[in-house]
Amino acid sequence: MTKKDAKAIDAFVDYLRVERGYSAHTLRAYRHEVERLAESDDCERARGLDQMDSLALRSYLASFHRQHRASTRNRRLSALRAFYQFRLRTDVIARDPSEGIPSPKQERRLPSPLSPTECEALIESKDENRVPMLQLRDRALFDFLYSTGLRVGELVPLDVRDIDTHRSEVRVRGKGDKERVVPLPRQARASLDDYLGARPQAGILAEPLFLNARGGRLTDRGVRTLLRRRLLVAGVKRSASPHSLRHSYATHLLDADVDLRSIQELLGHERLSTTQRYTHISAERLARVYRQTHPRAKGE
């Protein structure tokens, strides 16, 4: 990678952080994709990122066609589009080489939520190999994730002072640096109180809400690692990610007849269409509504 390309990538990431308010996770992902392009043979032949044309970029993207799913290729193209739109907007290049490149068609994959029973087991299980403080943290962590539906990228930056103990609410900074308030249910609040009460109280309001075993802020990777361990301890015999808990939160609200607009607000979705994906996975709710309302189904 040339020094010029490295400076261009730094300027792009600074723009995403300052002007667009992207999360640290998204910034890393976008940087990685543009750096990957800058280090490719196609970019070397073009003599730099700003010299790439549409044919060279298509050649680069085609090299991943058989290796990755359409969703991965779409994320890659989105990052590169954002980079070249930034370069075009700042008058560094005269034409966006990503213009006209179609997004790969991707299969519609329905979210796979955990059942209420599995979520309960995840929260209530005890890892006897953990020291008491980490047992309290793990229970509070997964009770909190399932009870609030936060993205893992919204969870890890939280500090203790982001919790309003009087109103049982948590103030969250979501995508695009947008702020919202999410209710914290009683049981999750109790788990969190037990964990925070066991920590030293001096200066705790300014500390991260969830700490790792060394006393630093828990990272998104750390949460994923803890979840894999917790699934084994709970005897949940399938894989799940922190986002699975978010899907579970939304699905179980929908099954309890919470309206879609309210779920949209709780999840921090900008568009209702994003939230509507959850309607496809709530067959139980649809069946219940059918039995309760259709004249030919009443009494079943």
User: Which of 54, 73, 89 delimits the end of a domain?
Assistant: 89
25 as an active site residue: the answer is: no
Residues 197 and 241 both lie in one domain: yes
Q: Check 17, 25, 175, 224 and give the catalytic one.
A: 175
Tell me if residue 30 is catalytic.
no
- 79 inside domain: yes
Whether residue 51 is found in the same domain as residue 160: no
Catalytic residue chosen out of the listed positions 76, 247, 252, 269: 269
| 120, 84: one domain | no
pLDDT digits over 89-147, tens only?
A: 888 888 899 888 877 665 555 557 888 899 999 999 988 888 999 999 999 999 999 99
Kindly state the average pLDDT of the residues 164-169.
88
CATH of the domain at 73: 1.10.150
Asked about 175 being catalytic, the answer comes back as yes
Mean of the pLDDT values across residues 2-28?
89
- Binned at pLDDT 50, 70 and 90, residue 285 comes out as low
- Same domain for 227 and 155, yes or no, is yes
pLDDT > 90? residue 173: no
The pLDDT value given to residue 269: 79
**134 and 63 housed in the same domain:** no
281 within some domain: yes
Spatial CA neighbour of 277 closest among 250, 258, 252: 250
Please give the mean pLDDT across all residues of the chain: 85
Q: What is the pLDDT of residue 98?
A: 86
Count the neighbouring beta carbons within 10 Å of the beta carbon of residue 169: 16
Return the number of other C-beta atoms located less than 10 Å from residue 72's C-beta.
13
Instruction: Return the sign of the alpha-carbon dihedral for residues 198, 200, 203, 209.
Output: negative
First and final C-alpha spacing in the chain: 67
Quick one: 30 and 121 in the same domain? Answer: no
Low-confidence winner among 9-13, 87-91, 262-266 (lowest mean pLDDT): 262-266
Angle at CA 294, nearest 5°, toward 292 and 296? 115
Residue from 73, 76, 139, 246 carrying the catalytic annotation: 246
| Confidence band, pLDDT 50/70/90 cuts, at residue 26 | confident
pLDDT of residue 107: 53
122 within some domain: yes
Question: Quick one: 29 and 83 in the same domain?
Answer: yes
Instruction: Name the active-site residue from 76, 87, 137, 151.
Output: 151
Q: Is 68 a catalytic residue?
A: no
Cα distance between residue 236 and residue 60, in whole Å? 41
Of 22, 30, 195, 278, which one is the catalytic site residue? Answer: 278
Query: Does residue 283 belong to any structural domain of this protein?
Result: yes
Residue among 75, 173, 243, 277 flagged as catalytic: 243
Measured CA to CA, the distance from residue 290 to residue 277 in angstroms comes to: 20
Asked whether residue 56 falls in the same domain as residue 182, the answer is: no
Residues 245 and 152 in one domain: yes
Instruction: Give yes or no for residue 216 having a pLDDT over 90.
Output: yes
Instruction: Verify whether residue 296 is a known catalytic residue.
Output: no
Both 67 and 161 in a single domain? no
Comparing CA positions, the residue from 171, 153, 175 lying closest to residue 162 is 171
Q: What is the CATH number of the domain that holds 282?
A: 1.10.443.10
Query: Is 243 tagged catalytic?
Result: yes
- Which structural domain, as residue segments, surrounds residue 22? 3-89
Report the number of distinct structural domains present in the chain.
Answer: 2
Considering only residues 196 and 71, tell me which one the structure prediction assigns the higher pLDDT: 196
Does one domain contain both 155 and 206? yes
138 and 192 in a single domain? The answer is: yes
User: What global pTM score does this model have?
Assistant: 0.61
Q: Which residue has the higher pLDDT, 1 or 124?
A: 124
